[in-house]
Structure 1
Amino acid sequence: MMQPGDCDDRDDIDAFARFLITHHSPQLRSILLSPDPNLHYPIVVEFAELLEFDPPLAHLLFSHPSDHLPHFDEAARRCQDVILQEPDFSGHKSSKKYHVHIRISTAGSPLESPETFPSIGRVRVRHRGILLTLKGTVIRSGAIKMIEWEQIYECRKCKHRFKVHPELESGKSIKPPTSCPSRRSKSCEGTYFIPIEDSKVCQDFQEIKIQESTQLLGVGCIPRSISVILMNDLVDMVKAGDDVIVTGILSAKWSSDLKDVRCDLDPILLADFVRRTNDLKSEIDIPDEAIKNFEQFWSHYKATPLRGRNAILQGICPQVFGLFTVKLAVTLTLIGGVQHVDASGTKVRGESHLLLVGDPGTGKSQFLKFAAKLSNRSVITTGLGSTSAGLTVTAVKDGGEWMLEAGALVLADGGLCCIDEFDSMREHDRATIHEAMEQQTISVAKAGLVTTLSTRTTVFGATNPKGQYDPIQPLSVNTTLSGPLLSRFDIVLVLLDTKNPEWDAIVSSHILGIKGEPRSESDEPETNIWSLMMLRRYIYYVKEHFKPVLTKESERIISSYYQLQRRSATHNAARTTVRMLESLIRLAHAHARLMFRNEVTRLDAIAAILCVESSMTTSAIVDTVGNALHSNFTDNPDEEYAKQEELILEKLIAVE
């Protein structure tokens, strides 16, 4: 006798099958033609499509996903039978696949609301049982295990056979049933069941932990995390440090039954669909109107390109007056160069690294915080609160199993890692980031876990000099940083707070003008300063769309300057290594991108040389740059540059 619920289930399966035949017939045909019948095959279904096709069915799936997702999988198996019977498909080598899973993607659907797309810290009991979508960063990735997923038992009394599944929330394997679920006989009260041989089904299983992004939180908020269970084709899709969007069913995880121990319920998400968002860069949306504005901006400054460049740089940390050299260095570091592969197949990094060495009150932390806002993905930490494990990766034990938990450099993969108070780190902790800065990987061998993690990140450090800065001593003595670490920074700017009455008067007038009314006509605030969002869009756009190439002239200038530095390398031996040549190339690429070009010209090569000159305690080319702290925006940057270019080229011609 058929129960009323069976009829409803059949209607749902038929409705799901009609939707799959209409919208996903090509994917089903591809699955049928696949050779391996034992693999698990996903079909990604956009919730917006289902909502448009059958709104009541979509709302039913959203409100009761645990009941209706299995119906969707069954509908996929039925659709295969329909396609196999088609005349034009009969001649192909095909086979029905029983492990087909429907994955529900809620991107762009009405589900993306604060109620159904909450932050991890706002997950509550009311979200339990619905189709929930969470966004975060993977901070822990467990080992892939095998779990008993299905076992058929037979009731000895009424001979009824039924399937039993494990309780994922408790982490236990399949428990033998305690009562017979048979609907054929209401009087069956069997309590003895036998497992059917060869009916056990095992599946892949992995547990990860995701944490909400710190960029979306306010000051003082602690980022929350939640465990996520991945099954079958979802396992091994993500690793520690990946940004993900997970759609699934919220449930509660409880500990094992222990006497006199309170059972705590922790939220856990049973994932149905996982999407990596590392490459999507979904946070930065650049409309066509913004791109036209960039093109019009550069067409306006075609005759005076450096004036246009300085107009962009004035939007970098506008609360800090002057410091033109620092603002240029920060911009070039954020834009970065072009990664390339040399003849031996070795990857040469495109990301630049910047270190600010300066006296207290020179605005180092201000630049760090502003750079973190400009970057699409950033992590800010301090040297005093960072250990080698916190910066790289740490091994933690959870439930008797060792797992790797990502540190700051891994979480900032593809973005920016800001380390303030760099000098406060222990020497051992500083040594751990050598590999992460140059090879852009972290090799781990902890607790039997041997692996390599990716750290394609830009490192932005700030440190105070050791005591009073002595210009006579080399940089490694003044900063207590080792030579190998200093050589990894493309630019090391020294900000010395020397007493300059004229500069002090200008800075005080600027600060008082910000606090109250402008003091004079010359101190009127800039009206054309680029906004933070505009700068973010511009930096992202030039990084994605411009791949500059060195010209013969720029190659000759960079090569001559490198040879000149090598000849006078007595004072800067830690900086004048082959890495300096790579730094010059990266900075020239970044400057060409900043100037909205695909070609590295003489101007870009000279600008890269000026940046490196600013980071030298003794310049190989005398009097080209002064104190970086007192560098200001000039009224006629193109004329000023012409003088510097003439002086630099004279020096370099003498070398040749």
Structure 2
Amino acid sequence: MSHRPFPAQMPPPQEEASDDDGGETQVRELASFLRKFYSDDLRILLDAEPTEHFPLVVEFAELMDFDPKFANELYSRPGKPLRVLDRAAQCAQREMIEESGNLKTEAHEFVHVRIDVSGSPLEFPEASPSIGKVKVKHMGTLLTLKGTVIRSGGVKMIEYERDYMCRKCKYRFKVYPDMEAGNRINLPASCPSKSSRGCASASFQFIEDSIICHDYQEIKIQENVQLLGVGSIPRSMPVILMDDLVDIVKAGDDVIVTGILSAKWSPDIKDVRSNLDPMLVANYVRGTNELKSDIEIPDETIKEFEHFWEEHKDTPLKGRNLILKGICPQIFGLFTVKLAVALTLIGGVQHVDASGTKVRGEPHMLLVGDPGTGKSQFLKFAAKLSNRSVITTGFGSTSAGLTVTAVKDGGEWMLEAGALVLADGGLCCIDEFDSMREHDRTTIHEAMEQQTLSIAKAGLVTTLSTRTTVFGATNPKGQYDSNECLSVNTTLSGPLLSRFDIVLVLLDRKIAEWDKIVSLHILNEHSDEKKDKTNDSELKWTLPQLRRYINHVKKRFKPVLTKEAERVISSYYHRQRQSGTQNAARTTVRMLESLIRLAQAHARLMFRNEVEQLDAIAAILCIESSKTTSAIVDSAGDALHSIFTDNPDEEYNTQAKIILMELGLVKGSPLS
């Protein structure tokens, strides 16, 4: 079997002949264009392995500047122009070989011109609609679709062409399998010979060893759930990858696919009407995994951040609290929860040891609380702050829905990505965590700690990446009993609880003074007076600004621990190991890693590249608030009734002194 570049739409033999006869002038003009703008790529191409398929990525914007008429034809009827571009690339190679004088080098036969539409008019909604808005008018045009790969099939071989000969007049002609009809061979009704005799024979003979095949893979992409309104069902579309495009994306990847919209008949099933299902024959696939966590942050905004911390260099914790007030502003107080949400979203730095073992940088958080304590509000707000997030509920999630499921499509088993895989590089929010079945909960153990999913289903054995932060919320089982351990109160196993870096318990105690303050806050939210009382400094930290800030500090800072921070974290860990009998599952080495992650996240939140003693103590206060450790600071216990203090820097000095004395790091007796 031999290979040959695959045209996006299989032409009839007559069209193939007409392409070869004419258009040589256009081919030479396009060859000069490719040599002018893509000479470096063509040189690499000449040194490539002759049997490999090589992509030559051409920017549509540059092509449009060079020849607007050809570019317009490429958009509206891309089949023939793409073949012309492939021939132009061949021509450009031959010209470069002749100029170099190295006649031993041959032009690379398997070159495919790939069209990159980024920064061109084809990025506008008309030529780049969402998957759910693809209509009949887009058929046969060069279309760009954005989505997430939810299904990835195996790499196969597909027949591209075969030769037949007329038994009567011996005329040879090529036949192209009909992709729309399941790659079926349709022979002509009569001999296609154009000779004067007009042979009308319908008897043809297949010529041995004339079949040409190509690598072939089918994937399915789904539109981004975050861009859809409530109640909308995300639509998906099959995408066909050929030659050099196969096996470059996997389930869970974000991609931008440019290709030709075609259709194929649905399988013939008894009592089911056969329809034409849309499909995209890909010309170029661009993975956006590196871009998915990035937000365009203007230089002015970065200067604003720097100026903000310059203003608060003497009172850093006051500045930090101004940022935290922007998280769920409709909820009064809950300072500890807001700090924990910020640290969870910012996260620490992934560590790779000498043996190549990775220690995750993404923290996980669990909110355990009575009904009406705002757990779901925090989950939804955190999902808005993250650029890539998936929200689900424990009751509506199976182990397959959370991890990955095996589905049978056209007689072949394929893997379809679940919530944790789709949230790779982002946030996975699971509400009603307690309503998940025990079997379903155990499936996420590996995903939370090793950040991979090992799958062995229906003969498919593979490992998928789940570099995601898990944010869970659950109600306690009945009335929360402070004398019992957390595992008993939540019915969650010890191994699962140990994977959460922060576990906050929100108990709705009836405190008259607190209820009065909260009710006044809620009533003010609904009154007109609120607009006049809003502080300018608080107004600055809106949702878009918080998103930019979190992204900026994650990209910019890779904090390292100072000696003082190491001393505090190490002493606290030893203290908890000696006294942590009630919650033994929480006081493992994972607690030490959690402290390091949270301290690094706090240093990022404070706009620093060093983890100082302040960050280590802030991480300890977060762990102390979780009711899963032996508390050494009494004031850190109640997360629900924690408020923003007027002078946080002074309060920190008091708490730091207590903690350092309890840990034996400073002389003196512990304060009561």
TM-score tier by shorter-chain length is over 0.9
Tell me if the contact between 2:31 and 2:92 (Cα under 8 Å) persists in the aligned partners: yes
1:9 partnered with 2:9: no
Residue 439 (structure 1) aligns with:
450
Tell me if the contact between 2:153 and 2:415 (Cα under 8 Å) persists in the aligned partners: yes
Residue 295 (structure 1) aligns with:
306
Distance 1:280 1:124 in 2: 28
SS of 1:630's partner is coil
CA deviation map 1:312-346 (0-9, x unaligned): 11111111111110000000000111001123321
Distance 2:32 2:21 in 1: 17
Instruction: Provide closer, same or farther for how the CA distance between residues 655 and 641 of structure 1 changes in structure 2, counting only shifts above 3 A.
Output: closer
Distance 2:184 2:344 in 1: 52
Residue 480 (structure 1) aligns with:
491
Q: Which moved more, 1:248-257 or 1:188-197?
A: 188-197
2:484 corresponds to which letter in structure 1?
Q
The partner residue of 1:267 within 253, 259, 278 is: 278
Residue 54 (structure 2) aligns with:
41
Q: CA deviation at 1:163?
A: 2.4
Residue 515 (structure 1) aligns with:
526
The partner residue of 2:636 within 625, 638, 650 is: 625
Distance 1:254 1:82 in 2: 44
SS of 1:126's partner is helix
Tell me if the contact between 2:153 and 2:414 (Cα under 8 Å) persists in the aligned partners: yes
Instruction: Provide closer, same or farther for how the CA distance between residues 388 and 189 of structure 1 changes in structure 2, counting only shifts above 3 A.
Output: same
Tell me if the contact between 1:558 and 1:581 (Cα under 8 Å) persists in the aligned partners: yes
Residue 26 (structure 1) aligns with:
40
Q: Which moved more, 1:189-198 or 1:362-371?
A: 189-198
Q: CA deviation at 1:248?
A: 0.5
CA deviation map 1:84-123 (0-9, x unaligned): 111xx22486322111000111111111111110000000
Q: Which moved more, 1:571-580 or 1:157-166?
A: 157-166
| 1:31-430 map, 5 Å | 31-34=45-48, 36-86=49-99, 89-91=100-102, 94-185=105-196, 187-255=198-266, 262-281=273-292, 284-430=295-441
Tell me if the contact between 1:145 and 1:205 (Cα under 8 Å) persists in the aligned partners: yes
Q: CA deviation at 1:159?
A: 3.8
SS of 1:629's partner is coil
Q: CA deviation at 1:463?
A: 0.1
Tell me if the contact between 2:369 and 2:505 (Cα under 8 Å) persists in the aligned partners: yes
CA deviation map 1:166-189 (0-9, x unaligned): 222232254444443344548233
Instruction: Provide closer, same or farther for how the CA distance between residues 175 and 282 of structure 1 changes in structure 2, counting only shifts above 3 A.
Output: farther
Distance 2:531 2:253 in 1: 51
Tell me if the contact between 1:247 and 1:272 (Cα under 8 Å) persists in the aligned partners: yes
Distance 2:551 2:530 in 1: 37
Distance 1:192 1:12 in 2: 39
Q: CA deviation at 1:14?
A: 3.0
SS of 1:443's partner is strand
Q: Which runs of 5+ in 1 are unaligned?
A: none
Q: CA deviation at 1:222?
A: 0.3
Q: Which moved more, 1:307-316 or 1:158-167?
A: 158-167
SS of 2:405's partner is strand
Q: CA deviation at 1:571?
A: 1.5
1:16 corresponds to which letter in structure 2?
L
Q: CA deviation at 1:5?
A: 7.1
Q: CA deviation at 1:260?
A: 7.5
Tell me if the contact between 2:321 and 2:644 (Cα under 8 Å) persists in the aligned partners: yes
Q: CA deviation at 1:258?
A: 7.2
Distance 2:399 2:127 in 1: 38
Q: CA deviation at 1:621?
A: 0.5
Tell me if the contact between 1:120 and 1:212 (Cα under 8 Å) persists in the aligned partners: yes
SS of 1:616's partner is coil
Distance 2:376 2:270 in 1: 53
Distance 2:484 2:105 in 1: 76
Distance 2:69 2:531 in 1: 67
2:357 corresponds to which letter in structure 1?
T
Tell me if the contact between 1:512 and 1:518 (Cα under 8 Å) persists in the aligned partners: no
Distance 1:520 1:259 in 2: 64
2:73 corresponds to which letter in structure 1?
L
Tell me if the contact between 1:422 and 1:463 (Cα under 8 Å) persists in the aligned partners: yes
2:75 corresponds to which letter in structure 1?
F
SS of 2:148's partner is strand
Q: CA deviation at 1:623?
A: 1.4
Q: CA deviation at 1:624?
A: 3.7
Instruction: Provide closer, same or farther for how the CA distance between residues 577 and 23 of structure 1 changes in structure 2, counting only shifts above 3 A.
Output: same
CA deviation map 1:456-509 (0-9, x unaligned): 000000000000101110000000000000000000000000111111111111
2:31 corresponds to which letter in structure 1?
A
Tell me if the contact between 2:428 and 2:469 (Cα under 8 Å) persists in the aligned partners: yes
Question: What count of residue pairs does the alignment treat as equivalent?
Answer: 653
Q: CA deviation at 1:567?
A: 1.2
Q: CA deviation at 1:619?
A: 3.7
CA deviation map 1:566-618 (0-9, x unaligned): 11111121211100000000000000011111100000000000000011245
Distance 1:160 1:447 in 2: 48
Distance 1:261 1:492 in 2: 51
Tell me if the contact between 1:587 and 1:608 (Cα under 8 Å) persists in the aligned partners: yes
CA deviation map 1:40-87 (0-9, x unaligned): 00001110010111111100111111122111112111222111111x
Distance 2:535 2:192 in 1: 81
Distance 1:521 1:68 in 2: 62
2:592 corresponds to which letter in structure 1?
L
SS of 1:380's partner is strand
Instruction: Provide closer, same or farther for how the CA distance between residues 93 and 319 of structure 1 changes in structure 2, counting only shifts above 3 A.
Output: farther
Distance 1:160 1:592 in 2: 77
Q: CA deviation at 1:525?
A: 9.1
SS of 2:577's partner is helix
2:68 corresponds to which letter in structure 1?
P
CA deviation map 1:216-255 (0-9, x unaligned): 0000100000000001010001000000000001111103
CA deviation map 1:534-575 (0-9, x unaligned): 111111111111100001110010000001111111112121
Instruction: Provide closer, same or farther for how the CA distance between residues 153 and 468 of structure 1 changes in structure 2, counting only shifts above 3 A.
Output: same
Distance 1:648 1:259 in 2: 73
Instruction: Provide closer, same or farther for how the CA distance between residues 363 and 324 of structure 1 changes in structure 2, counting only shifts above 3 A.
Output: same
Tell me if the contact between 1:513 and 1:523 (Cα under 8 Å) persists in the aligned partners: no
SS of 2:580's partner is coil
Distance 1:338 1:209 in 2: 33
Tell me if the contact between 1:305 and 1:638 (Cα under 8 Å) persists in the aligned partners: yes
1:276 corresponds to which letter in structure 2?
G
SS of 1:97's partner is coil
SS of 1:111's partner is helix
Instruction: Provide closer, same or farther for how the CA distance between residues 186 and 270 of structure 1 changes in structure 2, counting only shifts above 3 A.
Output: farther
SS of 1:485's partner is helix
Distance 2:65 2:166 in 1: 44
Residue 531 (structure 1) aligns with:
542
Tell me if the contact between 1:355 and 1:460 (Cα under 8 Å) persists in the aligned partners: yes
1:111 corresponds to which letter in structure 2?
L
Instruction: Provide closer, same or farther for how the CA distance between residues 359 and 260 of structure 1 changes in structure 2, counting only shifts above 3 A.
Output: closer
